[in-house]
């Protein structure tokens, strides 16, 4: 009798442990992080004025069901060289979005902040003996602002989304011509911004 009661007691404990472990694994799977890659369909004026016409890659990272972190990076370099002239354009931008999010069936709503830094340089040199000429431009952009967006999932991998926000940009530029002329400028830019996103999740 005691042996039978012991077996029942042991079986109940094992069953409870199994249910607890299964529940933990299920909960863990639900909160499992997800990572992807995304692009946006730019507004041309915003590209030229704010970001210097740089194609941007976004990396959405859903840390859990409440938090999204989305780094972004852009890089562009163009070098043109002829017999007497040489010009180089280099542009780079890095940023990050930090968002809270709400999960709906096939839809995610997110809200938070985007911020980042962009840097561009343009160098031009002309040489035709005995004449030489050089021109260099540098600019730095710091940007930040609130944003809210949503995305609809066609399946577990692809989503199409829209985001609107307000962006504040601090722009610093410097121009040097033939080492004899320097020009510095600072400006502040603020305005609304809207983009359409296409994202793929692994």
Q: Tell me the residue range of the domain where 115 lies.
A: 33-201
Same domain, 26 and 105: no
Whether residue 11 is predicted with pLDDT greater than 70 in this model: the reply is no
Please list the residues that pair with 194 across neighbouring strands: 164
Same domain, 147 and 194: yes
Same domain, 168 and 84: yes
Same domain, 2 and 51: no
C-alpha to C-alpha distance for 142 and 121, rounded to whole angstroms? 15
Same domain, 37 and 23: no
Same domain, 8 and 98: no
Same domain, 119 and 51: yes
Three-class DSSP category at 171: strand
What per-residue confidence (pLDDT) applies to 135? 83
* Element housing 44 (H / E): helix 44-46
In tens, the pLDDT along 30-60 reads 446 789 999 887 654 455 444 445 678 999 9
What per-residue confidence (pLDDT) applies to 175? 83
SS (H, E, C) 103-136: EECCEEEEEEEEEEEEEEEEEEEEEECCEEEEEE
Same domain, 9 and 64: no
How many CB atoms are located within 10 Å of the residue 79 CB? Answer: 10
Whether residue 13 is predicted with pLDDT greater than 50 in this model: the reply is no
Task: Identify which has the larger pLDDT, 72 or 181.
Answer: 72
C-alpha to C-alpha distance for 126 and 89, rounded to whole angstroms? 15
What per-residue confidence (pLDDT) applies to 5? 47
CATH code of residue 170: 2.40.160
Same domain, 86 and 171: yes
Whether residue 82 is predicted with pLDDT greater than 90 in this model: the reply is no
How many CB atoms are located within 10 Å of the residue 112 CB? Answer: 18
User: How far is the first Cα of the chain from the last one, in angstroms, to the nearest whole number?
Assistant: 56
Q: Are 87 and 134 in contact (CB under 8 A)?
A: no
Same domain, 7 and 75: no
Average pLDDT over residues 173-185: 75
Mean pLDDT score of the chain? 81
What per-residue confidence (pLDDT) applies to 200? 95
Same domain, 93 and 132: yes
The tally of domains found in the chain comes to 2
What per-residue confidence (pLDDT) applies to 78? 85
Same domain, 91 and 7: no
In tens, the pLDDT along 128-154 reads 777 778 888 899 999 999 999 999 999
């Amino acid at each position: 009798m005691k042996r039978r009661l012991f077996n029942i007691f042991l079986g109940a404990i094992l069953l409870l442990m199994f249910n607890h472990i299964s529940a933990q694994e299920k909960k863990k799977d639900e909160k499992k992080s997800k990572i992807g890659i995304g692009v946006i369909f730019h507004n041309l004026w915003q590209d030229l004025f704010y970001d210097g016409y740089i194609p941007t890659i976004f990396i959405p990272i859903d840390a859990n069901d409440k938090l999204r972190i989305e780094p972004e990076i852009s890089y562009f370099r163009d070098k043109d060289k002829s017999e007497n002239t040489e010009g180089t354009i280099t542009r780079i931008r890095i940023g990050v979005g930090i968002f809270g999010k709400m999960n709906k069936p096939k839809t995610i709503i997110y809200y938070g902040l985007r911020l980042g830094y962009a840097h561009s340089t343009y160098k031009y040199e002309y040489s035709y003996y005995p004449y030489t000429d050089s021109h260099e431009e540098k600019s730095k952009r710091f940007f930040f602002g609130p944003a809210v967006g949503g995305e609809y999932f066609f399946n577990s991998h692809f989503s199409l989304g829209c985001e609107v926000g307000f962006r504040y940009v601090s722009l610093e530029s410097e121009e040097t011509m033939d080492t004899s002329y320097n020009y510095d400028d600072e400006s502040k830019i603020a305005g609304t911004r809207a983009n359409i996103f296409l994202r793929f999740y692994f």
